[in-house]
Structure 1
Amino acid sequence: MKQPEKKKIGFFMAILPLFIMIGVMLLTVVKLEQGPHMPLIVGTTTAALVAWRYGFTWKEIEEMMYKGIKLALPAVVIIMLVGLTIGSWMGGGIVATMIYYGLQIITPGWFLVAITIICAIVSLAIGSSWSTMGTIGVAGMGIGLSMGIPAGMVAGAIISGSYFGDKMSPLSDTTNLASGLTGTDLFDHIKHMLYTTVPGFLIALGVYGFLGRRFADSNLNLEQIAQTSSVLQESFLITPWLLLIPLAVIVLVALKVPAIPALIVGIILGFLSQIFVQGGSLAGALEALQSGFAIETGNMMVDKLFNGGGLDSMMYTVSMTLVAMTFGGILEYSGMLQSIINQLMKGVKSSFSLITSTIATCIFTNATCSEQYISVVVPSRMFSKLYKKMGLHSKNLSRALEDGGTITSVFIPWNTCGVFILGTLGVGVAQYGPYAILNLVIPLISIIYAATGFSIVKMTKEELEAAKKEQLDDKVQVEM
């Protein structure tokens, strides 16, 4: 069959794969209670057919999928390393040690506040919400559940703290990505985010303090805590020296060692701890890395907490990430996503509508392309010239990208962040979504600022002249 001539894909046909994917997703995930893989495959197939119908060859469509997958490869590596970290730290008694001492010093009434602050500090130091959730977060889930606090609340507090540090850390990949793509100085970008992130963090702490009051005076919780602590002591060698392992990972990343080698060091130390500290066998330590750690204590809570981790446990997340990125790749590189956004941008006429549209586009991209990085990359390319045209400083755009993209990725079940949290903390979006307070309020704060003009920075006269010259040069190059 002769390949039709390549044409620009219109709005209706561009949005068709998205509508079909969402419809199948609602049926499969909500009604049938199945995973999101098949709906995304249906969406990918529909997008491929639309692209083929508009003149793209199958080879070009394959390249679009490969490009999408390539964008997610760094995330895939981190996902696998986190699985190895959890397995080795569980087997090495590191998670058990963190939970044991956490149970001794943190009271149920203040736990949600404490775990939020701890995750914020760790994530600020290492620049990674995923690494924080996969290490400190796993231990925090164990402590919180042992205290009788609902899993959704605990996960929400962990997510809020982890994303505060990730957003504000100069070591964070998304922070560097947003500043780099918009041409904003890194520390100007971070300072500008203080206006939305700090109030959001304080609101989150206030909510967690209020929610924690209901767990302050529970004798049942105290009995459960004592029982859990006793079982941990019987099952593992608990020593504060094991806390040096997570501390070593934090120090390495703080010293600007990249996340991957820092995590590998943590994995090796956990592996050695299982053999030489806990007295495990070499085969058992290797099994913990591959299939996860396994233990039978007779205590349902402890068994649930410590049977898991390992490379195999992350394969669901890896496959989800790859499938999601094939869908996102076709939407992005066939021009479908641009066609949809062009339609949405027609009403942009003021700084309020521009910033609100940027945040909405980031959320939309998180939902359609299923990847946090794309929700920063695509809108940055789309809106950069509009910000310059309206005389708005680039740090307004870089902040909006983070407020709308980085933060909201956790609310999309099929986004790589939502899938990672489910695989790591064992809690889905429906449970933790209402309690991820920081992630909920920051986009709203950002929109309120846009409406009132508070902290919205205009370009200086020199910056405006430079922007006009750049636009003129671009126009000349296009005409040539």
Structure 2
Amino acid sequence: MEHIRLPSILEIIVTLGLFLAIVFSFTVFFKLPIQLALFISLFLVILLGLRLGHRYQELQGALTTGISNGLEAILILIAVGALIGTWIAGGVVPTLIYYGLEFIHPSVFLLATLVICSITSLATGTSWGTVGTAGIAMMAIGEGLGIPLPLVAGAVLSGAYFGDKLSPLSDSTVLAASMSKVNVIAHVRAMLYLDIPAYIITAVLFTTAGFIYGGKNIDLEKVEFLKASLLNTFNIQIWMLIPAVFVILMLALKKPSVPTIAAGALLGAIWASLFQGIDVSEALGSAYSGFSIDTGVEFTDNLLNRGGIERMLGSVVVIIFGLGFGGLLEYLGVLKVIVSKFQNHLTSAGNVTVSTLIVAFLANVFGCAMYVSLILTPKIMEESYDKLRIDRRVLARNSEVGGTLTSGMIPWSDNGIFMAGILGISTFTYAPFMWLSFVSIALAIIYGYTGKFIWYVRNNKEVLQKTAI
């Protein structure tokens, strides 16, 4: 039997360097799909595994195991695609847009966007569902009010990830807690010490930006034209929002995400047939093909022609390949080898915090999926926390900050592709305005080096080292 070994740093640098070269060249220079680059990269890692002495069957098993760990994300994504399609057809999203244009003042629009998306995400536990519904509406309202779209996207994503990170209903929250061997509610409580200050700072930033930009470039004619276009195309009534209220209530009552979102999509199709005068087969078809209309006005058409399972298939492929890639990296011990090289420097809470954030970010970069980051990071870093007797709640919190909050910044990750596609602007365009993410990362590092809100375990009892900022 051939001897199996861990990869050397040189082998890791060459492999991951080639991965980045393939991704950038395919997407930037050759204008080829990211999915093709990821597919080729899978075999790049498999070749590394064969070189290390692994059998192909073992490597394929690691690949499929990695994919199976994130199948729930794929099901949620498919359900969200169906939801977006039928909710536009059923008038749910158009009604949100109309009332937003009617009642939200431009000066407080960015703050309102942050708050609305936060509440939606907290209640539903899904950043994807939040961006696909409330996020689309806020982008449309922002464009109508003349607010720079990258700023609007930053507010949408800051709110969506805030709720996704704190909601006990969120799959990412549950995953980070379970992989760190922490109770979910204890994890959420530990997150509050960081997230509340981060949220307040972020709210101040978006409020300031709102007063700077709000109303400066507002085109009242464009706003009225959009409102009139929506009224001419859809039946706009307050009861159009019933499917949204249903989904939020069901998820708030801790009903399973996939069937709840699918039921919301069905309600959207029923609303499209009952209230929007769309043929039953066409209304149901919008769940798969998305909503499609030709009003003759490019702005309105770009706004409304979205959603559907079919339009999510590209993201599904990215998640599959990304999870497989991450599964191979974990099996070969790539990130563990990287961490081991600076293990001797992990002698303080500050250094361990920074290392966790870096590992979580790299897992997003090379694993191409948030699930990969939240699975790998706690596994790789848990030993360092245990050696310093740092409570696992800190591990779970740092894994979320480094994993969940940076996932939308990577153009080839599942979150990056989904968010850019739904919001209609590139990842690099909106990433600088994901202010909640940057503030949270800064606070996590400050907490680590100052000892604020860092818990230690002593004789199996949790001891809070510092209790006040």
Question: 1:373 deviation in Å?
Answer: 2.0
State yes or no: 1:259 paired with 2:237. no
Question: What is the distance in 1 between the residues matched to 2:322 and 2:79?
Answer: 20
What is the deviation of 1:196?
1.7
| Equivalent-residue separation in structure 1 for 2:315 and 2:270 (angstroms) | 27
Q: SS of the residue aligned with 2:70?
A: helix
Counterparts in 2 of 1:18-29, with a 5 A limit? 18-29=16-27
Counterpart-to-counterpart distance in 1, 2:384 and 2:335: 18
- Offset of 1:369 from its aligned partner? 1.1
Q: Distance in 1 between matches of 2:91 and 2:415?
A: 27
Residue 72 (str. 1) matches residue 58 (str. 2): no
1:312-323 residue pairs with structure 2 within 5 A?
A: 312-323=310-321
1:12 aligns with 2:24: no
Q: Is the 8 A contact 2:147 2:218 kept in 1?
A: no
Equivalent in the alignment of 1:55: 53
Distance (whole Å) between structure 1 residues aligned to residue 180 and residue 317 of structure 2: 31
Distance in structure 2 (CA, Å) of the matches to 1:23 and 1:228: 43
Paired residue for 1:418?
Answer: 416
- Of 274, 297, 306 in structure 1, the residue corresponding to residue 304 of structure 2 is 306
> What number of residue pairs does the alignment pair up?
463
Aligned to 1:474: none
Letter of the 1:363 counterpart: F
Note the C-alpha offset of 1:43.
Answer: 2.2
Question: Can you list the C-alpha shifts for 1:192-232, whole angstroms capped at 9, x where unaligned?
Answer: 21222112212221221122224433474222111100010
Match of 1:228 among 226, 229, 233: 226
Q: Tell me the alpha carbon deviations over residues 166-206 of structure 1, each in whole angstroms, 9 at most, x when there is no partner.
A: 11112222222222232333333222212221122122212
Question: Is the 8 Å Cα contact of residues 253 and 262 (structure 1) preserved in structure 2?
Answer: yes
**Structure 1 counterpart of 2:81, which letter?**
G
The residue that corresponds to 1:402 in the other structure is: 400
Q: What is the deviation of 1:464?
A: 8.5
State the TM-score, normalizing by the size of structure 1: 0.92
Task: Report the 3-state secondary structure (helix = DSSP H, G, I; strand = E; otherwise coil) of the residue aligned with 1:141.
Answer: helix
User: 1:77-156, aligned counterparts within 5 Å?
Assistant: 77-156=75-154
Residue of structure 2 in register with 1:35 after alignment: 33
Offset from partner CA, 1:34-54 (integer Å, 9 cap, x none): 432233233222111111122
- The SS at the match of 1:459 is strand
Stretch deviating more after TM superposition (315-324 or 90-99):
315-324
Query: 1:275 Cα deviation (Å)?
Result: 0.9
Output the CA distance in 1 between the equivalents of 2:98 and 2:13.
51
Structure 2: gaps (5+ residues): 464-469
1:183–1:144 Cα change, 3 Å: same
* Cα distance in 2, alignment partners of residues 96 and 262 from structure 1: 21
Within 1, Cα distance between the matches of 2:4 and 2:391?
38
- The aligned counterpart of 2:176 is 178
Asked if the contact 1:4–1:53 (Cα under 8 Å) also holds between the matched residues in 2, the reply is no
Report if aligned partners of 2:370, 2:407 keep a CA contact under 8 Å in 1: yes
Deviation at 1:28, TM superposition (A): 2.7
Once residues 389 and 63 of structure 2 are traced to their aligned partners in structure 1, the CA distance between those partners, rounded to angstroms, is: 37
CA distance in 1 between partners of 2:44 and 2:411 (Å): 20
* Residues 344, 71 of structure 1: alpha-carbon distance in 2 compared, 3 angstrom cutoff: farther
1:4 shift after superposition: 4.4
Contact 1:85–1:310 (CA<8 Å) still a contact in 2? yes
2:147 touches 2:214 (CA, 8 Å); kept in 1?
Answer: no
Aligned-pair RMSD on alpha carbons? 1.9
Are 2:455 and 2:462, in contact at CA under 8 Å, matched by a contact in 1?
A: no
Contact 1:314 1:423 (8 Å CA) reproduced: no
How far residue 97 of structure 1 moved from its aligned partner, in angstroms, is: 0.7
- Whichever residue aligns with residue 290 of structure 2, its letter is G
CA distances 1:4-51 after superposition (whole Å, capped 9, x unpaired) = 443332222133221101122232333444432233233222111111
Distance in 1, matches of 2:258 and 2:108, equals 33
Q: Tell me the amino acid that sits aligned with residue 224 of structure 2.
A: A
Q: Answer whether contact 2:322 2:413 (CA < 8 A) is retained.
A: yes
Match of 2:205 in 1: 207
Bigger drift between 325-334 and 22-31 goes to 22-31
Q: Which residue does the alignment assign to 2:466?
A: none
For 1:184, what is the secondary structure of its paired residue?
coil
**Counterpart AA for 2:103:** I
CA contact (8 A) 1:317 1:423 kept: no
Whether the 8 Å contact between 2:145 and 2:215 is mirrored in structure 1 is no
Rounded to whole Å, the distance in 1 between the matches of 2:308 and 2:380 is: 40
Q: Which segment drifts farther, 119-128 or 40-49?
A: 40-49
Q: Is the deviation greater in 45-54 or in 174-183?
A: 174-183
For structure 1, the 5+ residue unaligned runs are 466-480
Identify the residue that residue 238 of structure 2 maps to in structure 1: 240
> In the alignment, what sits opposite 1:370?
368
Residue 324 of structure 2 corresponds to residue 331 of structure 1: no
Q: Distance in 2 between matches of 1:287 and 1:129?
A: 25
Q: Which amino acid aligns with 2:457?
A: M
Query: Residues 35 and 214 (structure 1 numbering): CA distance in 2 closer, same or farther, change over 3 Å?
Result: farther
Conserved 8 A contact 1:179-1:185: yes
2:467 alignment counterpart: none
1-structure distance, mates of 2:428, 2:361? 17
TM-score normalised by the chain length of structure 2:
0.94
| Residue number in structure 1 paired with 2:288 | 290
Structure 1 stretch displaced more, 394-403 or 33-42: 33-42
| Match 1:427 to one of 405, 411, 425 | 425
Letter in 2 for 1:445: L
- 1:477 equivalent in structure 2: none
1:126 and 1:254 in contact (8 A); partners too? yes
Query: How far 1:71 sits from its partner (Å)?
Result: 1.9
1:245 aligned counterpart, secondary structure: helix
C-alpha deviation, 1:453, in angstroms: 1.3
**Which amino acid is 1:252 matched to?**
M
Residue number in structure 2 paired with 1:471 = none
Q: Is the 8 A contact 1:95 1:139 kept in 2?
A: yes
Task: Determine if contact 1:92/1:272 at 8 Å carries over to the other structure.
Answer: yes
SS at structure 2 position matched to 1:117: helix
Match of 1:274 among 272, 275, 282: 272
CA–CA distance in structure 2, aligned partners of residues 32 and 201 of structure 1: 40
Q: Please, which moves more after superposition, 454-463 or 443-452? A: 454-463
1:352-391 equivalences under 5 Å are: 352-391=350-389
